[in-house]
Structure 1
Amino acid sequence: MRFTRLAKFGAMASIAALALTGCGGSGSAAGPDADGNVTLRFSWWGSESRSAATQKIIDAFEAKNPGIKVQGEYGDWGGYWDKLATQVASNDAPDVIQMDDKYLREYADRGALMDLEGIDISKFDEAAIANGTTEEGLFGITTGINAMVMTANPTLFKEAGLELPDDKTWTWDDYKEIAATITEKTDAFGASGPNEPAGFQFWLRQDGKSLTTAEGTLGYEPADAKAYFEMLKGLMDAKAIPTASGIAEDQSPGPDRSLTGTGGAAMGMWWTNQLAALSGASGEELVPLRMPGRSGQDGGSNTFYKSSMFMSATKASKHPEEVKKFIDFMVNSEEAGMLNLADRGLPSNLDVRAAVIDKLDGADARSAKFIADIEDEVGDAEPVPPRGFSGLQDILYRYGLEVFFGRLGPDEAAEKMFAEMQTEIG
């Protein structure tokens, strides 16, 4: 049986709990070599296109900083966090770490991350700065902003005899009906499974609630989760999304090998910065749509902007100044921005963003236009995730599968999930 993302997250949680309690040693980064050169290790997750662009950024940085070499380490999302937790546990963490908001406090609060004070953030808006800041300091520099979208494959819609929906007003019932029709009339599924925790976050936002609060508690009740699981089970029963085993299998691949990226599903929940990789993999000009809502009214999606990711650094690095120089180049140089384009979100540096937007085309241009189009509809950002938040994703996926496989009913799954989530962040 394939080792899916769910299993990986379960293993990661156990490893991280041990790893992070003992972090902060000397680190593995070597001192300057005989010629005085410094080598930094930089880890990231992402698609093949991101890796290719990142290597070009590294090459550009090295050309401008001949005394600094950057060694890249990358992989898929699931295995990335297992590997990082193990590296931190053995004092072998990379100098520069591509970080996600789910894990920022997990590492920062345990003293594993470097305070990045001194990197120029004068061209960032306040929200972008706050996203990477805890009470103890600035531990993540936001690379860019993005939004969760429902990607749509126009070719499969046309094959099914359907037009793209009015995404300003469509509902979850509309989404189910459209997806079920596509499954019936094409060789693809109408949609892939949910992208968590964003799928549940949207469901809760549309009822005025949140997954977690600013105080670090759960922001919903078991009844909310029950209704969500009932909606998801209804999608599967209507054949709008794959079977339980198909959903489990599609939780593991990155964009390139997902049902969306391979043309196996007409719709899928993804972040805007992933649209280019998905379009390139599928060979289709995928279209970003607003997430379905519950009210049927304009703005019913209740969307929000999210930091796509952060640049963080291990506190144990022996080369803090060189680390900050590289991160500064990543987020503040127009040259890096032109290579990243929208892959790590629309740049946080407003000057770089303006330069990049003028050069975007294809999927990146569609992403940028979408971000601009929803500006007047965007609600408050989700609260900064508390410690333990990364485990909530695993829990949510796991209980979703329990419902899909019929091992638990929505009511029982909701009650057990709520109790386990309370313990996780408690």
Structure 2
Amino acid sequence: MMKKGMALLLCVFLLGSFALAGCGNSGSSTGNGGGEQEKVTLRFLWWGSDARHEQTLAALDKYMELNPNVKVEAEYSGYEGYEQKLKTQLAGGTAPDLIQVDQPWIYDFSTQDDMFADLNTFKDIIDLSTFDEKFLQDYSVLNNQLQGLPTGSTGMIISYNKSFFQKYNIPEDTQFDWDNLLEIGKRVHDESGGADVLLNAGPNTFLAMFKSYVRQKTGKQFIQDDYTLGFDKPLAVEALGYLEKYLDAGVVQPFAESAPYQDNLDKHPKWFKGEFGMTKNWPSTIPSLQDGVDFEVGALPEIMMKGALTTAVVNRPSQLLSIAKSSKHQEEAAKLMNWLLNDKDAAVILGDVRGVPASSAALDALEGADKLDSVIVDATELALKTSGEPENGITNNAELIKIATDIMQKLGYHKSTPEEAADEIIKELTAKLEEIKSHQ
């Protein structure tokens, strides 16, 4: 069982001083009750793994048992295509009542229209005291409206194969920087004759690495609040040059080979065979990486530049739960949301399938029931300790991300040099930012 002191420390990181006292209070609710209440059908949309689907369905079954007047229709899928589907539903007024949303999306959604109900209007239904006020303000509030509530707290880390590290005499307390990543990765490649690869990476990972590098060097946001770039061409060339070196030295797998598994390392044959050393990901993905393999998975802090002006480590909600503005049953959706996020029975059923809970009530319930995965807890705590300034909204604009990811793809397939990629990323992002600004 996880020790009380460890849970308390985690509470400090997750909730800060505003909600520390909440770590000792489960905040359990008992549902809405049955009786002759009006029959209501709610739709709930989410993405996730099989484990998340199974445990969420079990929680919904329990909720419907406690609330016979409510029927919850589950709509769930994998991550691919989810955002576009949700955009279409929100724009057409056909979105489900309760929706799992990736936190970076809310900036784009908020610029289109009021897509989500302001959860501040449901303070008599949803217990907001279990969430850290600053955490909500940093990640869930836009236009003075509470767009959603965090299901959990998470941060970017490196997950690694402990047996792989032992095989290549890589200390398990290694702090990777941009230079020793190249040195160690090249050694692994050479000693294995190219069979083993230190770092799993594709276009998305390359973009994340590019953003981290320039932010660590400048201390600025990747995209400034005034819609200008937070980096110049020489710095872009420098950062992209490192990425090219990683490809050429075999530190990462060629894109042509990694493409089918870009966001699904847990399904990559090289991972199952123990031929990958590590990957950048979120703590909640560790169980899927551990499933079906004969080695132990650990967590390390993000790649960090010596003398970095900011860590650039992304920490944010695992996901948000939001209520569609178009919902005809917003109050019932708010009751379901409160139960899922704050009720002790719901917490035990759901476990940590959405990360370490951001609600102090749910966190306390899981700790008491010995339902917290210590590896996920330790990884989340590690990410929170190294947290950088939250990314601003414009940095996560979907059009900007698409432009930058496509350029990383060209670099990865050797269809562009670092100089050419730097010119293109500055030209294309600047043009799109001017367009976005003109519509504000």
Query: TM-score range, shorter-chain basis?
Result: 0.7 to 0.9
1:51 and 1:281, CA in 2 relative to 1: closer, same or farther beyond 3 A? farther
TM-score (norm 2): 0.79
State the match for 2:276 in structure 1: 265
Equivalent of residue 410 in structure 1, options 384, 409, 418: 418
In the TM superposition, what is the alpha-carbon distance from 1:35 to its structure 2 partner? 9.8
Equivalent positions of 1:23-102 (< 5 A) are 36-102=38-104
- Structure 2 gaps, min length 5: 1-35
**C-alpha contact (below 8 Å) 1:192/1:260 kept by paired residues:** no
2:191 paired with 1:181: no
Gaps of 5+ in 1: 1-33
Q: Which moved more, 1:409-418 or 1:195-204?
A: 195-204
Asked if structure 2 preserves the Cα contact closer than 8 Å seen for 1:388 and 1:424, the reply is no
Evaluate the alpha carbon distance shift between residue 85 and residue 209 of structure 1 in structure 2; reply closer, same or farther with a 3 A threshold: same
Q: Is the 8 A contact 2:311 2:387 kept in 1?
A: no
SS at match of 1:41: strand
Is 1:126 matched up with 2:133? yes
Conservation of the 8 A alpha-carbon contact between 1:41 and 1:94: yes
Say which of 145, 149, 152 aligns to 2:153: 145
TM superposition shift of 1:189: 2.3
Q: Paired residue for 1:206? A: 216
8 A contact 1:213–1:219 mirrored in 2: yes
| TM score, norm. by length of structure 1 | 0.82
- 1:4 corresponds to: none
Equivalent in the alignment of 1:240: 251
User: In the aligned structure 2, how far is the partner of 1:112 from the partner of 1:292?
Assistant: 36
1:422 aligns with 2:430: yes
Matched ranges for 1:102-113 at <5 A: 102-109=104-111, 110-113=113-116
Q: Which residue of 1 aligns with 2:400?
A: 392
Q: Distance in 1 between the 2:366 and 2:431 partners?
A: 43
**How far is the alpha carbon of 1:115 from its aligned partner?**
1.6
> 128-137 or 235-244, which moves further after superposition?
128-137
AA paired with 1:314? A
Q: Distance in 2 between matches of 1:224 and 1:361?
A: 45
Q: Which residue of 2 aligns with 1:343?
A: 353
Q: 1:269 offset after TM fit, Å?
A: 0.6
Match status 1:226 vs 2:226: no
The alpha-carbon deviation at position 236 of structure 1 amounts to 0.9
Deviation at 1:166, TM superposition (A): 2.7
Q: Which residue type is aligned with residue 150 of structure 1?
A: I
The structure whose Rg is larger is 2
Note if 1:369 corresponds to 2:378. yes
- 1:321–1:399 distance in 2 versus 1, CA, 3 Å: same
Matched positions, count: 387
SS at match of 2:251: coil
Larger relative contact order (Cα-Cα within 8 Å, sequence gap ≥ 6): 2
Q: Deviations over 1:284-315 (max 9, x none)?
A: 43111111212179x98553522211001211
Identity of aligned residues (%): 26
